[in-house]
Amino acid sequence: VIPNDAWYNLRERSFSHSTFLKSTACMLGALARASSVEQAFLDLEDTTGDGAGIFARIDPSIRPTVYKCATIGVADLAKLRSITRIKRLGRVLEIRADEIIFQQGRMPRSTETIIDCTANGLAPREAVPIFNGGKIILQPMIFCQAVFSAALIAHAEASFDDDDRKNRMCIVNQHPTTVPDLAKGMYLSILITKRFGEAGFKHRWWLASCRLNYGATFPLWMKLWYALGPANLKGNMDAFMDAVERGRVSDLGPILIPEVGAGSLASDMISKEAGRLSPGRSMVALGVLVCGVALYGVRAQLASSFGR
């Protein structure tokens, strides 16, 4: 029974340490170029069955309307596609001894075992300020990363005294449920990390060293290579943010960002100009990249020499 078809993250591309940065660059680039989030999913779809894409759907003939960050492996996807008895009649309303009643029809049954897979552990709730007087109301912030979101909230609580500033740093970013939520979640995640990074060096250092931040697990040279090299992660991110802010994504409605205290939304948006590296900083980044690659080569050579 499939009441709503969904898009899935392919584990081999989405969470593999060797492909994560490249996949992120591809995703942001597709979102920046596509006229809609739905088109971006189609552009990033795995159509070969070998994990070459980033997203997948069970039935290639049906366009999913749901996206909840669910992850699946290539082998698991093949097994699901081998199931032929599928009912798409909406949600189940009632299960009787001799039939199942759906929103859009009925299906006879006899002795089949019914397994309830309908629990929604991450149901969206109305967003409220995270810091509210003497209370801290835990809510998601980073896209599909509940634990890292909690770490950011704890860091804000330990670093700032004013609740208004904490709430400006900690924007509620609900778990995705629909296809356009991919772009919304990515946009808010980038905006949140940008705000923390602009708060000062110690906050940038914390982001770069927090073990719950998956991006912090990559060596600096690798991040620079994907950010400034052929994958163009930095350029794709800037283009994606610009596309969202200019309203060029047709199926993405306005993103409401709660503003608490002084300042305007415009001043908090990620600016393409502000995000670009100056020539001097570019040379420093290039130097760090070259040194990182050289050290990586020396390390590999030593490991080979000592048989490790």
Predicted confidence at residue 29, as pLDDT, reads 94
* Residue 23 domain-assigned (yes or no): no
Q: Is residue 288 part of a domain?
A: yes
Residue 186 domain flag: yes
Q: Is the pLDDT of residue 67 over 60?
A: yes
Whether 76 is covered by a domain: the verdict is no
Range of 211's domain? 131-261+268-275
Residues 162 and 202 in one domain: yes
Span 36-60, average pLDDT: 85
* Whether the predicted model's global pTM rises above the 0.85 cut: no
Is residue 28 situated within a structural domain? no
- Determine, yes or no, domain membership for 70: no
> Do 184 and 221 belong together in one domain?
yes
Say how many C-beta atoms besides its own lie within 10 A of residue 100's C-beta: 19
pLDDT band (50, 70, 90) for residue 263? very low
Query: Do strands 135-136 and 131-132 pair parallel, antiparallel, or not at all (unpaired)?
Result: antiparallel
Strand-pairing partners, residue 8, are 56
Work out the percent of the chain whose per-residue pLDDT is above 90: 54
Is the Cβ–Cβ distance between 233 and 227 less than 8 Å?
yes
Contact status, residue 278 vs residue 284, Cβ threshold 8 Å: no
Mean pLDDT across 235-251: 92
User: Torsion angle of alpha carbons 117, 13, 149, 214, nearest 10°?
Assistant: 140
User: Who has greater pLDDT, 6 or 299?
Assistant: 6
Across the chain, what does the average pLDDT equal? 82
For residue 109, the SS3 value is coil
* pLDDT in the model for residue 259: 56
Give yes or no: residues 196 and 301 share one domain.
Answer: no
Query: What was the pLDDT predicted at 50?
Result: 55
Burial 85-94 (b: 16+ CB within 10 A, else e): eeeebeebee
Tokens of 221: 């040279």
Tell me: do 225 and 290 sit in the same domain. Answer: no
Same domain flag for 235 and 292: no
In a domain, 32, yes or no: no
Q: Does residue 166 have a pLDDT over 90?
A: yes
Residues 199 and 293 in one domain: no
Cross-strand partners of 135: 132
- DSSP reduced 3-state for 117: coil
